[in-house]
A and B are shown apart, each in its own frame.
Chain A
Amino acid sequence: MDTVRYYILFPNHTEGIKMEELLKKNGLGYTIVPTPREISSCCGISIMYNVKDEGRIKALIDGHGVKTLGLHCVNKKIVNPYL
């Protein structure tokens, strides 16, 4: 079964951590994840978020001048290689 997941990508680690602080302060749920290969071949952190929060997240990004490489949606099959 395919799963839809939503990510914020960043130009560097510092901007990612800045975004995390904002999400935490505003009580929005999030998960820090390795950047999915489907979106970029660069390593490092991205933030996975709930789509219901997307409006508030965009406002936080704009309001606080967080540098991002965009919000991305990926539809994929998640496989545990051990199972």
Chain B
Amino acid sequence: MADYRKLWSKLGVDLEKHDQLCAVLPKLYEGTYLTQEDRPAGMNYFNSVLAEIHGSRIEELDEHKKNGGKVVGTFCVFVPDEVILAVKAIGVGLCAGSQFWVEDGEKVLPRNICPLIKAFMGAKVGGTCPYFQSCDMIIGETTCDGKKKAWEVLKNYVPVHVMELPQMKRDKDYDQWIDEIKDFIGKMEELTGNKVTVDSLRKSIKITNLKRRALKRLYDLRKHKPSPISGLDVLLVSQIAFFDDPERFTEKLNELCDELDERVKNEIKDEGKKRIMITGTPMALPNWKLHSIIESLNAQIVVEETCTGTRYFENEVDENGDTLEDLIGNIADRYMKINCACFTPNTGRIDDIIKYAGEYNVDGVIDANLSFCHTYAVEHRAVEKALKEQNIPVMQIETDYSTEDSGQIKTRVEAFLEMI
């Protein structure tokens, strides 16, 4: 329970305001996570990362910076971690999942923009995110209009590099994405003074693939009926994946999976909970709202087709190739397989949802959208139609980070579960 205030102060964190967040987080975690029964012992590692999320990990970043290393912040699964690792920088996801930051975000952004964007902007404007304060550069992308324009505001506070993500998947779009990755490599080399080589890039591809494989292993375990782990716990693991050291994360996640393997062998009592898939927008730390509400009822979330779910780890980057050109092409191929609603058309996402519904043997799908996320909201009708054709029940929930609509959501989910 170290006192990190000196470090936060050095980083320019608004201590008084940040303390309000520190006061809320333990209670929120206790109310949502520590009321669960029979959690795997392996979750203790993830509990500790969460408890130290603004503490020991920030100290690690500080140590890295003292040794001349750089820290890079990202908001999207399209920014290739492999490049960041290859120049010996540390990539971190950024604070974007709490209502706490929304008010400050609304000081510089319109109110009718998604809470994730308002929250990350508020975290920076208010100086209440030690990760943001540790970043030498933020890597943005063009996945939606809100973010695209937010970078223009954010660059008044911190250096920003924006990757232009194609919005279609034609051959020329792949070529454009390859060029964007090359520009990103140039930018990272300039920032860190380290060159990307075939060896360094291949090594970082391997590290990132092992992380993806561990997450896939965790998700595969959830295919057992009943799942040996709650959706809430898996959500925390996925959220921490964006912050933690990738090799340590992989090791600890594999330890958790070893324990879950044993659970599955010993057969867990089936309480007949409904198996639910979440599809839709990402759930940034500490957004545990829907998982907490849904799993308080007779339901278990067994898969998330989201950016804090399958989109983050599905498909590996091919490790074969003799030149940088080969490896960059492999990276581009893997990332262009992500089925994000920023693409038109995006029928691949619907194929994924139908495929996962079968693989995870789900009883129903909840299409969860953050308020004002137009791309995912527009796709809802197509998702609903495809699921209905397969006789898979589906409901949509559009919400933000506030707790005001929690009761209403609970009632709606309750009715949905009774219906399926």
User: A residues engaging B (CB < 8 A)?
Assistant: 9-13, 16-17, 20, 30-37, 40-46, 48, 69, 78-83
What are 12 A-B contacts defined by CB distance under 8 Å?
A: A13-B52, A20-B44, A30-B44, A32-B45, A45-B48, A78-B34, A80-B32, A82-B31, A82-B32, A82-B292, A82-B293, A83-B296
B45-65 residues with Cβ-Cβ distance < 8 A to A are 45, 47-48, 50-52, 54-56
**Interface residue from B29, B35, B293 paired with A34 (Cβ < 8 Å):** B29
Assess the B55–A33 pair: CB atoms within 8 A.
Answer: no
Assess the B31–A45 pair: CB atoms within 8 A.
Answer: no
Q: CA of A40 to CA of B288 in the docked complex: distance in angstroms?
A: 24
Q: CA of A9 to CA of B288 in the docked complex: distance in angstroms?
A: 26
* In the complex, B415 has a CB within 8 A of chain A: no
Chain A hits for B26, CB < 8 A: 33-37
* In the complex, B2 has a CB within 8 A of chain A: yes
Assess the B2–A31 pair: CB atoms within 8 A.
Answer: no
Task: Assess A13 versus B55: contact at CB under 8 Å? Given A20-B44, A36-B26, A41-B19.
Answer: yes
CB distance from A61 to the nearest CB of B (A): 15
Q: CA of A80 to CA of B51 in the docked complex: distance in angstroms?
A: 18
* In the complex, B27 has a CB within 8 A of chain A: yes
Assess the B31–A81 pair: CB atoms within 8 A.
Answer: yes
Assess the B403–A82 pair: CB atoms within 8 A.
Answer: yes
CB distance from B142 to the nearest CB of A (A): 33
CB distance from B265 to the nearest CB of A (A): 20
Assess the B403–A81 pair: CB atoms within 8 A.
Answer: yes
Chain A hits for B19, CB < 8 A: 41
Assess the A35–B51 pair: CB atoms within 8 A.
Answer: yes
Task: Assess A34 versus B292: contact at CB under 8 Å? Given A42-B2, A42-B3, A81-B28.
Answer: no
**Interface residue from B1, B32, B403 paired with A10 (Cβ < 8 Å):** B1
B1-44 residues with Cβ-Cβ distance < 8 A to A are 1-4, 19, 22-23, 25-32, 34-35, 39, 44
Chain B hits for A42, CB < 8 A: 1-4
Assess the A78–B31 pair: CB atoms within 8 A.
Answer: yes
**Interface residue from A16, A30, A33, A44 paired with B29 (Cβ < 8 Å):** A33
**Interface residue from B3, B4, B27, B403 paired with A37 (Cβ < 8 Å):** B27
Q: CA of A83 to CA of B48 in the docked complex: distance in angstroms?
A: 25
Please name 7 further chain A to chain B contacts, defined as beta carbons within 8 Å, in addition to the given A42-B1, A45-B51, sorted by A numbering: A11-B2, A20-B48, A34-B47, A34-B50, A37-B22, A45-B52, A83-B410
Chain A hits for B51, CB < 8 A: 32-35, 43-46
Assess the B35–A80 pair: CB atoms within 8 A.
Answer: yes
Nearest chain A residue, comparing its CB with the CB of B293: A82
Task: Assess A44 versus B30: contact at CB under 8 Å? Given A33-B47, A37-B23, A78-B35.
Answer: no
Assess the A34–B4 pair: CB atoms within 8 A.
Answer: no
* In the complex, B406 has a CB within 8 A of chain A: yes
CB distance from B288 to the nearest CB of A (A): 8
Chain A hits for B32, CB < 8 A: 80-82
